[in-house]
Structure 1
Amino acid sequence: MSDDAPSTPSHAEALRDRVPRTRAGFERELDRLVDENRFTIAVVFPAVGAVSLVGSAEGWIPEPFAFHPWFVLFGVLVMRSPLVVGVLPLFSRRAVGWIGALIAYTYAIETIGIQTGWPYGSFAYTIDLGPMLGGVPIALPVFFIPLVVNAYLLCVLLLGERAQNTWLRLLTVSATVVAMDVVLDPGAVSLGFWTFDGGAFYGVPLSNYAGWVLSAVVAVVALDRAFDLGAVLARLRRCPFMLDDMVSFVILWGGINVWFGNLLPALVAGTFGLGLLRADRFDSGLLRLRDA
């Protein structure tokens, strides 16, 4: 063979050439990966999660698999991936700082709540949601922060240009966060994730929702300072999967509440589903299911 004949690239070289070399290229590759797996991430995972969690609570799944913390955490991380990938292009050093502050607040308020009963009411975790530190899950921000970010994004999308009004944005996002907890907490109490010391609303005290108003306001202030509102709205409009984590929320917690007969929380979850339809979200995932 001639010395100047072209050589065939090795498998390692071909793989290296496919790896994005810029942040923009990396973000495009993540967008493609999530977009091609939307139905699996946003429908299959929460549906399987709802069945496995209900099965654990009802005793259908034996130990040590019932409520296995790493299985729960893995499922949550997969369902969060569309949100993380969707928000990633918006991140700057300023955003990292403010999200870091929100994470610190999350740990602080949860620790205070467990030790004092303020502001959510007296409660305790009865199932370990991954590694715990001082009675608080280390992965707590993975559970809490996406919830408030989803509420923020949905309200910004539905409000459109009206979202420029700071007070209107604060009011609607805070109300949406509390409404999401109306779905979350009764379902979690029914599963046995945590318990309150009495509660009039499906085992949840009304004081819990006053605490969520406080946390929602703190979160909105932090998110307002972390991200440029115009950039958030522009990304929302061109990223069809950015609210798929909220689709997962509706399927997972709506299904759990239906099973346990928590009719009002299930109805609120359905209302969020209607809001997502109105916002024209998850259309391509449903079309893929129809065409399969």
Structure 2
Amino acid sequence: MDSRLLGLGEDGDARATIQHRLEAVIRENRFTIAVVFPFVGAVTLVASAEGLLPQPLAYNPLLILFGTLVMRSPLVVGLLPRIGPWALACFGVLTAYTYAIETVGVRTDWPYGAFEYTIQLGPMLFGEVPLALPLFFIPLVVNAYLLTLLILGDSSDHLLVRIPTAIAAVVAVDLVLDPAAVAIGFWEFVPPGIYYGVPVSNYVGWVLSGTVAVVLVDLAFDRRRLIDRVRECEFVLDDLVSFVLLWGTINVLYGNWLAAAVAGLFCLGLFRTDRYDVDMVYTAIPGNWQSQPTETSTDTDASGRDEH
């Protein structure tokens, strides 16, 4: 059999080289990506909401998209070796679903309740939903799913444990996100709900959308190989760290204490993975990352997915 069909040979070597370089960039800039960017983002967004930034800096969509892309980069680079044709197909379906459910939500007020975007988060599809919506939503689902796998350990082998827990984690993500987003004026619910302006119907909608998203993410990967990759790639959950710092800080600044407490629970979950501690902070600081030995795997699945 031609070695290229197995992901080896020149094509496999080139992909391994690119993967190695991308991982080196992430490791060298972990502190900047996971800590500096969300802190600057929180300050900038709050300043925009409070009218402290001049145009065109206030709510600048290019800055928002750029910052989001940078903070997503550890997750994307970390999972690249496990992304094949099957995973791409699953994420393609999830992307289409994300646009569809959001468009339905904006037009019909179902399933999230009546809401509207009050600023443009980059180009708007049909003038209604952000074109970059999958960039905002899908990584949140993947982060919640990966954290669930690590915390559950062997219990994640059970479908009826894994899927409901991951869905609950996705809804918890929105318990942090939506109050902060409403506070800084990303969108608003009409009328405002009881949870820092967010109605209960929004979370009923997130149970629905989260269930579909979690099932598709679960189908996208061979779970054993995915867990092995997540365990060996020390930075793959840094995007979740960025999320907690960014939206947790905004909730604290606006006194959304319950939402901030949920962000704190995610911190505890990250600590339970045994990868975020004082030593990690030291090695994440620029210039110190090479002192931490790492083992990375850049093998790829020729079919895009192994059998479960």
Compute the TM-score of the two structures, normalised by the length of structure 1. Answer: 0.91
2:93 to 76, 101, 105: 101
1:219 aligns with 2:223: no
Contact 2:144 2:170 in 1 (8 A): yes
Partners of 2:81 and 2:101 lie apart in 1 by: 29
Counterpart amino acid of residue 173 in structure 1: A
Runs of 4+ in 1 over 4 A off after TM superposition: 289-292
- Matching of residue 159 in structure 1 with residue 144 in structure 2: no
Which secondary structure state, in structure 2, belongs to the residue aligned with residue 247 of structure 1?
helix
- Greater RCO structure (CA 8 Å; 6+ sep): 2
Offset, 1:282: 3.5
Distance (whole Å) between structure 2 residues aligned to residue 133 and residue 206 of structure 1:
26
* Residue 24 of structure 2, aligned match among 18, 26, 32: 32
Structure 1: runs of 5 or more not aligned: 1-19
Corresponding residue SS for 1:124 = strand
Asked whether 1:193 is paired with 2:186, we answer yes
Q: 2:102 aligns with which of 86, 92, 110?
A: 110
Instruction: Answer with 1 or 2: which has the greater Rg.
Output: 1
Calculate percent identity across the aligned residue pairs: 58
Aligned residue number for residue 10 of structure 1: none
C-alpha offsets along residues 185-212 of structure 1, whole Å, 9 cap, x if unaligned?
Answer: 0000000000001211100010100110
Q: CA deviation at 1:55?
A: 0.5
Deviation for aligned residue 1:21: 5.2
Partners of 2:250 and 2:160 lie apart in 1 by 34
* 1:83 matches 2:78: no
Please name the residue that 2:177 is paired with.
184
Root-mean-square deviation over aligned CA pairs: 1.5
Task: Report if the CA contact (8 A) 1:156-1:169 is conserved.
Answer: yes
How far apart are 1:285 and its partner, in Å?
Answer: 4.1
Alignment of 1:168 with 2:167, yes or no, is: no
In structure 1, the residue matched to 2:246 is 252
User: CA 1:36–1:291 in structure 2 vs 1: closer, same or farther (change >3 Å)?
Assistant: closer
Instruction: Tell me the CA shift for residue 25 of structure 1.
Output: 1.7
What CA distance in whole angstroms lies between the structure 2 residues aligned with 1:67 and 1:21? 42
| Counterpart secondary structure, 2:116 | strand
Question: Do 1:250 and 1:273's aligned partners in 2 also have CA atoms closer than 8 Å?
Answer: yes
Retained in 1: the 8 A contact 2:180–2:247? yes
TM-score, normalising length: structure 2: 0.86
In the alignment, which of 143, 153, 171 is matched to residue 150 of structure 1?
143
User: Which deviations, in whole Å up to 9, do the C-alpha atoms of 1:87-139 show, x marking residues without a partner?
Assistant: 11101100000000000000000000000000011100001000012210000
Secondary structure at the aligned position of 1:22 is classed as helix
Question: 1:5 is matched with which residue?
Answer: none
Residue in 2 that maps onto 1:136: 129
Question: 2:282 maps to which residue?
Answer: 287
Structure 2 unaligned blocks of 5 or more: 1-11, 289-308
* Alignment partner, residue 205 of structure 1: 199
Q: Distance in 2 between matches of 1:237 and 1:92?
A: 19
Separation in 2, partners of 1:291, 1:142: 30
Residue type at the aligned position of 2:144 = A
Query: What SS is found at the alignment partner of 1:240?
Result: coil
* Equivalent residue letter for 2:46: V
1:290 Cα deviation from its structure 2 partner: 11
Q: Distance in 1 between matches of 2:90 and 2:13?
A: 27
Aligned AA (1:287): Y
